[in-house]
Amino acid sequence: MRLGVMLPLHDIGGDPDTMGNFVARTEVQGYTNLGLADHVLGVNAASRPDWGDRNTSADLFHDPFVCFAYLAGIARKTTEFSTQVLILAQRQAVLVAKQAASLDVLCGGRFRLGVGVGWNPVEFTGLNENFSNRGRRSAEQVEVMQKLWANEHVTFEGRWHKIEDAGINPRPKSGRVPVWFGGHVPQTLDRIATLGDGWIMNAYPPGDAALAEFAKLRDLARQAGRAPDAIGIEVWTSAGAGTPAEWKEEAKFWKAAGATHLTLTNTFQRRHHRRIAGKTVEAHLAAQQAYADAVASVL
């Protein structure tokens, strides 16, 4: 398994020196993958007293393409930069294809595009996109992007997209950017099996339910004529609860289950995940070091 970490920008801030120093120290700890969350708009919580614990305008989200382009020149040991996840249906597919291809070229093929459908209609309204059809539309978006990455010129006419013998330049040198899907509804697994390179999974703790979902995905891949082991699985974990011995056992479970990526998400506080108590750079680095030490022999 590859060991990654979600950048905790909500806690540590996003100025260039802070991010650069944090990433450099993260690489020394043995983390090879960097993840970044995505939101374009955050609501004003003062006007929505019943908003709950979802993100607001007070939460920091750098644009992932811009942020990773900056970090690519600093993080030389990092093997993957991954959006977790980019809300694809809020954006124009051709533009995302261009941005992803440019980033892939600039970072030497180290970019992995994680995509999701989003949950906040306020963002879709602000970006003039349709919230109600976002899942179906995003599947066609992936198809469009994959054609643009692979071919010099593309002619395409689908339900929501039309390209008239045109292409993007640059294109990724490999002719593709890996696309991983986040989400946990049945349609997500269908899309991964037919279009995706992997699944970013955070809904299930170690146990039979997770194993059942992995088996379902592999069956769908076979039905689509694909080798099940060609589809990666990324699971989120946290140092916010448990002991080093428990972290190690959890890592063993995920590896035996076929997970290819283990990503530490120390600011996530939903479902079975618990964030760490500290919010400083040093608190995050200490938690990351403890976790990396605990699971190193399992990877």
Average model confidence (pLDDT) for the chain? 97
- Say how far apart CA 202 and CA 271 lie, in whole Å: 9
pLDDT in tens, 80-93: 999 999 999 999 99
pLDDT given at position 39 = 97
- 8 Å CB contact between 280 and 18: no
Taken in order of first residue, the domains within the chain and their CATH numbers are 2-295 (3.20.20.30)
pLDDT given at position 70 = 96
DSSP 201-224: E-S--SSHHHHHHHHHHHHHHHHT
Helices and strands, number each (H, E), in the chain: 10, 11
pLDDT given at position 53 = 86
Residues 188-214: what's their mean pLDDT?
97
Residues 283-296: what's their mean pLDDT?
98
pLDDT over 70, % of the chain: 100
pLDDT in tens, 108-141: 999 999 999 999 999 999 999 999 999 999 999 9
